[in-house]
Amino acid sequence: MFGQESLLPGISNQLALGGIVIAIALYTLYHISTATDIPYIKGIPEIPGALPVTGHLLQLGDDHATICESWWRKYRTSVFQIRLGNTRAVVVNSFDDAKRMLIGHQSAVIDRPTLYTFHGIISSTKGFTIGSSPWDESCKNKRKAAGQALGRPKLKDYFDMFDLESYCIVRDLVRDSNNGATEISVRPYIQRYALNTTLTLCYGIRMDHVYDSMLREILEVGSAISLLRSASENYQDYIPILRYLPNNEKNRRSRELRDRRDKYLNALLDQVREMIKNGTNKPCISAAILKDQETKLTGVEVSSICLSLVSGGFETIPGTLTSCIGSLSTPEGQIFQEKAYKDIKRFYPDVRDAWRNSFQDEKIPYVNAIIKEAARYYTVSAMSLPRKTVSEVIWDGAKIPAKTMILINAQAANHDVDHFGLDAATFNPEQWLTSDGTIDPASEKVSSGIQHFSFGAGSRACSGQLIASRLLYTALVRLICSYRIVASEEQPPNTDYVDYNQFKSALVAIPRDFKVKLIPRDGMDNASEIGTLERCLEEARMRTEDYYKEEQGVSI
């Protein structure tokens, strides 16, 4: 008896101890699995339902912008915090809050977060693109150099290039569609347009064939890297333990893409060096920097600037312009096309003048309205590029600490009914126009400074927006003057502002494929105009001939 009595308290003590150890272990496990870089921010609501380890990642799925927009509406708070694995992020959804965060706190949100896969593996050799660089002296220099190359005073230096590249779109559409007899997918022509523009700008190099192998390699690698930057495709950035899994496929793929990208970037720079040696180089950013011994930029910074410009435009412009053409080809869109054509003729009764001026100014209001609306409606970079605070942000009394990730839901802000009205989910260029068909500078939507958030805003806004607008304008004027664009019946465009995008997890939208029928406008209204397109093309060919003859391709 004595033995048993003395044993029982011993067992229960052990059990109690065991219980305590398990409780501590569970608590520690829970604590570790829910810990974040930045602790919970008091005063900013957190979306319920976060899980240990993954946080909100699983709930967010592939389409972060749409899910965050639905949380804004469900929980009636435009600004909230979420957990991406071990990273705390503040998400901003409404138009007014996005403006307040990006403009009102622009010095505080000037930084960008660094991610394990993109920064640690993919960018380990050629440096960070401007859009992914944390804010430091090097980023400042790179942003300044890009700002100079892409600023308004520089635009006139690129007129020949705009002329040539937009001529090539129409030239090849005429050829490949048998002047409208065959339905055609326009995206490849616009991809070449965007890529050739930035390649010329950076390296003085272009490719004439839509399916050039180098061109397709740049597009393929760039798109694959864009996927690896997205949170939903890359959990290891937010759940560090995944990085140590054996046979890590993400790391292998990242290294492979990095090597493929290095190969073409080196080939491009080598070609520029060779052209400088032979005296055949064209004026371009890399030649200017390579020749200028005084420059403060390092070799990696030069590569990084060029990489930023090439990757800045090659998906955003095709995403916006292709989807815009999709909307214009629908029965409602055809009415917008006719009005745009009429407006073009109001300024340039002779279509040849419209072609000649299309790259020199942007004065046709209806075309400008279409461009604004395409950028707003199809927010190709739905969650913009992530920001990070460098100093504390006081937000309605709450303190968002330095080093917090800030995510701007540009798609939600661009479709905010409180700002754009109840038809925010409709493609309507006319919302930017007054009743007399001009863009009203005094209207709230235009005068508020920010018209939409597709180019971001504030201290790290898109450096390429001026050139992007000009590229969209030139191509649209020439296309609308040449053809009535009509959606294919077999393969029509998807014009839903969310569902048009086939890869919702990618950083930049890739529109679903569609085809259009191109109906030549030549002589449609006036028999005397028969042959106008041919004359416009011939003039453009002659104007760009010299530029064209000297064109330099490159192979890898």
Residues forming the site for ligand HEM (CB under 6 A): 130-131, 143, 146, 150, 198, 308-309, 312-313, 316-317, 320, 380-381, 384-385, 454-457, 460-464, 467-468
168 is in an annotated binding site: no
Token pair of 538, please?
């011939």
Of the two residues 272 and 468, which places its CB atom closer to ligand HEM in the complex?
A: 468
Measured distance CA(111)–CA(134) in Å, rounded: 5
Of the two residues 303 and 463, which places its CB atom closer to ligand HEM in the complex?
A: 463
Beta carbons within 8 Å of 469's beta carbon, 6+ residues apart: 362, 371
> What is the Rg, in whole angstroms, of the alpha carbon atoms belonging to the chain?
27
* Residue nearest ligand HEM, CB atom distance: 456
Of the two residues 194 and 540, which places its CB atom closer to ligand HEM in the complex?
A: 194
Beta carbons within 8 Å of 61's beta carbon, 6+ residues apart: 67, 232
Of the two residues 351 and 408, which places its CB atom closer to ligand HEM in the complex?
A: 408
Full DSSP string of 33-51: HH--SS---TTSPBPS-PB
Of the two residues 213 and 502, which places its CB atom closer to ligand HEM in the complex?
A: 502
Measured distance CA(37)–CA(403) in Å, rounded: 9
Helix axes 299-313, 465-482, angle to 10 degrees: 40
Q: How far is the CB of 200 from ligand HEM (least distance, A)?
A: 11
Measured distance CA(70)–CA(104) in Å, rounded: 25
Q: How far is the CB of 469 from ligand HEM (least distance, A)?
A: 8
Expressed in percent and rounded to 5, the helix, strand and coil fractions of the chain are 55, 10, 35
Q: How far is the CB of 150 from ligand HEM (least distance, A)?
A: 6
Q: How far is the CB of 495 from ligand HEM (least distance, A)?
A: 18
Q: What angle do CA 13, 19, 23 make, to 5 degrees?
A: 145
Q: What angle do CA 263, 264, 266 make, to 5 degrees?
A: 70
Of the two residues 228 and 351, which places its CB atom closer to ligand HEM in the complex?
A: 228
E strand or H helix at 328: helix 316-329
- 485 has which bridge partners? 518
Q: How far is the CB of 419 from ligand HEM (least distance, A)?
A: 18
Q: How far is the CB of 460 from ligand HEM (least distance, A)?
A: 4
Per DSSP bridges, beta strands 516-520 and 483-487 are: antiparallel
Of the two residues 87 and 532, which places its CB atom closer to ligand HEM in the complex?
A: 87
Closest CA to 407 of 17, 33, 67: 67
Of the two residues 46 and 96, which places its CB atom closer to ligand HEM in the complex?
A: 96
Cα 88 → chain centroid: 23
Q: How far is the CB of 271 from ligand HEM (least distance, A)?
A: 20
- On whether the CB atoms of residues 484 and 453 are closer than 8 A, the answer is no
Of the two residues 133 and 552, which places its CB atom closer to ligand HEM in the complex?
A: 133
Q: Which residues of 147-158 are buried (b: 16+ CB within 10 A; e: fewer)?
A: eebbeeeebeeb
User: 346: how many CB neighbours lie within 10 A of its CB?
Assistant: 12
Residue that the structure tokens 């496929």 belong to: 249
Closest CA to 121 of 263, 229, 220: 229
Cα 523 → chain centroid: 38
Of the two residues 355 and 378, which places its CB atom closer to ligand HEM in the complex?
A: 378
Q: How far is the CB of 428 from ligand HEM (least distance, A)?
A: 19
Q: How far is the CB of 464 from ligand HEM (least distance, A)?
A: 2
Q: How far is the CB of 355 from ligand HEM (least distance, A)?
A: 22
Closest CA to 201 of 141, 129, 145, 257: 145
Annotated binding site for heme: 462
Annotated binding site: 462
